[in-house]
Amino acid sequence: MRRFLFFVPVLCLAVRLVQAEPIPAPTPTESPYDQLQLIARTIQLIRQDYVDESKAGYRDLAYSALRGMLDTLDPHSQFMEPKGFQSMQEDTRSEFGGLGIVVTLRNGVLTVINPMEDSPGFHAGILPGDQILKINGESTEELGLNDAVEKLRGAVGEKVTLTVNRPASGEVKDYELARAVIKVPSVKDAMILPGRVSGGPIIGYVRITQFNSPTAGELAAALDKLEKKGMEALVLDLRHNPGGLLGSAVEVCGEFLPSHTLVVYTEGRSPSREYRTAARKSPPRKYPVVVLTNYASASGSEIVAGALKDLDRALVVGETTFGKGSVQSVVSLPDGSAARLTTAKYFTPGRNLIHERGVDPHIRATLTYDQEARLLRSRRLREDPTKDGTSLWDPQLERAVDALQGALLHARNQ
């Protein structure tokens, strides 16, 4: 069974489909049956006396109770009705229909983590940090994260109107987007960076937008080409990367780590939730590496950055990552519904918890709101943000180049 670090189209989650485990017997001091009696009595009371009989069906009331139980645990646990469970299973394909917007609930507000590159949301100009206030005129204030996801989905070609607040400017604007088949991009912009000093080191640059099945192979091919051009060091850009397949993230680490090196592990309440995942490729590439991160680097990006940082294989430059490092196990229920429950958390090789903490950089470098907007605009228009002397030059990337030049100079002196 594959383990996933994302739930497309708009959630960055780690999902595993599992069989239900035996339920342990209750302790003498705590019995679930007393509480079940309370729930059953309340359902019976509603069914008997609630004024609107159409809302008082036993199945509807039971589903509402289950939904409430799981929704209050954390943003990623969820009760799924049969239709929603079926949609979740379909969403593990490499292509899907949607808007390509990765969202989360931040302080109760539906907030954009990142618009996927080349998606409708990306080309419309939606930015990280934007708040979605309405979907087709309906307020998102009372919507849970998974309900919002369902409303963002729909038939390919259908138009959706999002009312978006941009906190940085205070602007509220409507965006009309057409759902499309999202083909998740992977490795982009492999290049040799323009030299800053005559005769200076040859530094390569590769950007990974998401971790999917072909990512490691695409990265290996890109690195082979850059090495043939004399590359001496690499900037691996994981900014705005929301995650992807766990196996893909581990394979990317394997490009730079010896085989059998621990990359990530999980811990939960049950020993069955513990997994240790190691790099498998050999031999690794040995030149210096800087990993670029920002607040929208999530899930698989954090596994790569955390592993390479803890194992002293790369410098991390940029901002603290998002902090999404938990595993959701999905258990099917007898009537075709399912419960998705957070059952474990990810740790880096140095025993650093990723979830709700993120990975801190060695060297902190930030972009202003205008600089980040310009950088994303350059990606939309396919402009080159690395050219010297232009307003599109990327200060975080420049800081990464400075760090690599210093590392190479130190190594030569040694």
Partners of 204 in the beta sheet?
Answer: 192, 234
Contacts of 12 (CB under 8 A, 6+ apart): 5, 6, 102, 104, 113, 242, 243, 298, 299, 322, 324
Q: State pLDDT tens for residues 36-82.
A: 888 999 999 999 999 998 888 999 999 999 999 998 898 788 898 88
Rounded to the nearest integer, the mean pLDDT of the chain is: 84
Average pLDDT, integer, range 11-24: 50
The string of pLDDT tens digits covering residues 185-232 is: 689 889 998 865 556 789 999 999 989 888 999 999 999 999 999 999
In whole angstroms, give the CA distance from residue 59 to residue 46. 12
For the domain 187-329+341-413, what is the CATH code?
A: 3.90.226.10
Look at residue 27 and tell me whether its pLDDT is greater than 70: no
Q: Residue 360: pLDDT above 90? A: yes
The residues with which 318 forms a beta bridge, in sequence order, are 293, 364
Residues involved in catalysis: 299, 310, 324
Task: Return d(Cα 54, Cα 114) in angstroms, integer.
Answer: 40
**In the block, residue with structure tokens 């239900």:** 20
Indicate whether 1 pLDDT > 80: no
Instruction: Give whichever of 16-20, 368-372, 391-395 has the largest mean pLDDT.
Output: 368-372
**pLDDT at position 4 over 80:** no
pLDDT for the residue 290: 97
pLDDT of res. 371: 87
More confident residue, 309 or 103: 309
Tokens of 140: 């998102």
Q: What value does the mean pLDDT take over residues 247-256?
A: 94
Average pLDDT on 253-278 reads 90
Model-level pTM? 0.72
Specify the length of the chain in residues.
414
Q: What is the pLDDT of residue 63?
A: 92
Architecture of domain 95-183: Roll (2.30)
In sequence order, which residues have a C-beta less than 8 Å from that of residue 365 and are 6 or more positions away? 317, 318, 319, 395, 396, 399, 400
Q: Where are the domains of the chain?
A: 95-183, 187-329+341-413
